[in-house]
Amino acid sequence: NAGVTQTPKFQVLKTGQSMTLQCAQDMNHNSMYWYRQDPGMGLRLIYYSASEGTTDKGEVPNGYNVSRLNKREFSLRLESAAPSQTSVYFCASSEDRGYSTDTQYFGPGTRLTVL
């Protein structure tokens, strides 16, 4: 099993450009998440999806959109990138059997720089 995969690994954008970060998991998990990680800030939740077809905002959703394409895939879109979105983005998934104890499995991250 590959676990959680993310593409691309690195990306440089100019202010105003758009892009989509891709995430896929092969563990048949119900829930998927997008986080950003900035120095000294820890991981902050951008959006999450509790099941196929549902998405909800996290702590820092402004400037982002998401799509839960199917059970495996959860994409994050930046419509008009800003320098403040320079960060490392992690996708994660969890089985989420309805309890709050599910652990999360993370992808390797996408390092995004917005100039």
Partner 1 sequence: SQKIEQNSEALNIQEGKTATLTCNYTNYSPAYLQWYRQDPGRGPVFLLLIRENEKEKRKERLKVTFDTTLKQSLFHITASQPADSATYLCALDRYNQGGKLIFGQGTELSVKP
Q: Using CB under 8 A as the criterion, which residues of the chain lie in contact with partner 1 when the complex forms?
A: 4, 31, 33, 35, 40-45, 48, 50, 58, 90, 92, 94, 96, 100-109
User: Residue 87 CB, nearest distance to partner 1 (Å)?
Assistant: 14
Which residues 6+ apart lie within 8 Å of 63 measured at CB?
Answer: 78, 79, 80, 82, 84, 85
State which residue, 33 or 74, has the beta carbon closest to partner 1. Answer: 33
Query: Three-state DSSP class for 21?
Result: strand
State which residue, 17 or 106, has the beta carbon closest to partner 1. Answer: 106
User: Residue 67 CB, nearest distance to partner 1 (Å)?
Assistant: 19
What φ, ψ does residue 84 adopt, rounded to 5°?
Answer: -65, -10
State which residue, 17 or 108, has the beta carbon closest to partner 1. Answer: 108
How many Å apart are CA 7 and CA 30, to the nearest integer?
A: 20
State which residue, 73 or 106, has the beta carbon closest to partner 1. Answer: 106
How many Å apart are CA 30 and CA 61, to the nearest integer?
A: 21
